[in-house]
Amino acid sequence: MSPRWNPNPDVRTGRHVVCNLHVHLVFLTKYRRGALTDAMLSRCEEIMREVCADFEAELKQFNGEQDQVHLLVHYPPKVQLSKLVNSLKGVSARLLRKEYDTHVRRHLWGGHFWSGSYFAGSCGGAPLTVVKQYIENQQRPTG
């Protein structure tokens, strides 16, 4: 590499690739029911960090409201985004239902946790700070 190369920690390099991939993901609870509490969001963040690590991805930012979560994920090019999303939603739903069973059953029914749909928006460069700020400013439930 050139001596002028100033490596950005978000830039990933491989044998034949140099990339910097970020995605803003939004998952909604089924029926947009306000099922998420502050404690559940904290646990959800832990779970999603672990799932991202399994995919060699990094959860850069996380926050949510009672009926949705927002994630900013930095991921390698070998990761198929739909598989990452499927694991994030599947693992978190299974563990949150198990760990907060009584609360979840009061708000959600039919064995579902997340809506079947999701938002995925690519982002990078200057807009990353804007996306991070947007996620940070979500109205997290108190208590």
Neighbours of 8 (CB within 10 A): 8
Contact criterion met (CB below 8 Å) for 71 and 46: no
Q: Model pTM? A: 0.85
Number of other residues whose CB lies within 10 A of the CB of residue 113:
22
Residue 4 has pLDDT above 60, yes or no: no
Q: For residue 81, how many other CB atoms are within 10 A of its CB?
A: 16
Per-residue pLDDT tens for 69-113?
Answer: 999 999 999 999 999 999 999 999 999 999 999 999 999 998 899
Which domains occur in the chain, in start order? 19-136 (3.30.70.1290)
User: Is the predicted pLDDT of residue 44 greater than 60, yes or no?
Assistant: yes
